[in-house]
Amino acid sequence: MKFKSRIDKTFIFIFSLLSLLFSILISQNVLMMNFSKTYVIVLVTAVALLWLLVIWIFLDTSYKITDRKVSFRSGPFYGTIPLKQIKKVMVDKTSWDGKKVALAKKGLVLIYNGNKEIYFAPKTNDSFVDYLKKVNPDIEIEKNQFISLK
């Protein structure tokens, strides 16, 4: 089963800011006449390729669970984790270090192959975890307990 990544406002803001920055870089250098045409073409091409990479990641981040593995893809970055190696899933957690294949906060941290971690943020954590448990009931699920300060 395939799961699309959730996109939250933080990443939309970052994407918008990068788009604005790329636009400014391109327009500023095109408008300046004292640079050589070659320099402008190389800069515009480099910025455009970087912008296309960001768009690719933004539009193509997903996860797929089969009976043997969990696959992930974020633009040109992809990989698989055998289901038997996944020992624990921490729900509603945000990981700021390690491998991240996500565009949102409060996702899932999968612990696999001993102590390796990867961060996912599917559209709904519950449906991903339910399907994962259905395919491999041995996986431990740890729900994040939020503490309310009054």
In tens, the pLDDT along 14-44 reads 888 888 887 777 776 666 656 677 877 887 7
* Distance from C-alpha of 100 to C-alpha of 88, rounded to nearest angstrom: 16
**Any residues with CB less than 8 A from the CB of 20 and at least 6 apart, and which?**
none
C-alpha–C-alpha distance, residues 121 and 32, integer Å: 42
Model pLDDT for residues 7-20, shown as the tens digit of each residue:
988 888 988 888 88
Give per-residue pLDDT as tens, 51-70.
888 889 989 999 999 989 99
CB 92 within 8 A of CB 145: no
- Among 68, 64, 62, CA closest to 136: 68
Per-residue pLDDT at 115: 85
Count of alpha carbons within 13 angstroms of residue 10, beta-carbon side = 7
Q: Write out the two tokens for 121.
A: 């943020």
**CA 131, CA 135: separation in Å to the nearest integer?**
6
Mean per-residue pLDDT, 96-123: 88
